[in-house]
Amino acid sequence: MAESKIADLVLAERYLSDIQRDVDAYISQFKEGYFSPLAMLARLTEEAGELAREVNHKYGEKPKKADEADNSIEMELGDVLFIVLCFANREGIDLTRAIERVLHKFGTRDADRWTKKHTDTP
């Protein structure tokens, strides 16, 4: 298992609800609107595959070819998140509420599953 790499990172201050609204404003400008749930699931699978490819290039045994595009894990995660946001918007799901429910589920179901770090310092 790895340590957190965001502990000392300055993260952008944005609410997930604002990002959902931004994505909705972007998609709403087009007549086609949101893709169907099956099409979005296919897109999510495609983007997850592209993310897997980038992870394999960075951490696996398969280096990139010299002529391959210089994508990044960050951009591929962004693509995955964009599709998740689109999917949630199309289905009318508040992702802030959804992640709060999931964190509660993990906090109760897995409360004693992992070895906790001791945060008390003498």
How confident is the prediction along the chain (122 residues), in pLDDT tens digits per residue?
677 777 777 878 889 999 999 999 999 999 999 999 999 999 999 999 999 999 999 898 888 888 877 779 999 999 999 999 999 999 999 999 999 999 999 888 877 888 888 766 55
Taking the CB of residue 83, how many other CB atoms lie within 10 A of it? 21
CB 44 within 8 A of CB 81: no
* 3-state secondary structure string across 15-59: CHHHHHHHHHHHHHCCCCCCCCHHHHHHHHHHHHHHHHHHHHHHH
Give the pTM. Answer: 0.83
What CATH superfamily classification does 16-109 receive? MazG-like (1.10.287.1080)
Domain boundaries, the chain: 16-109
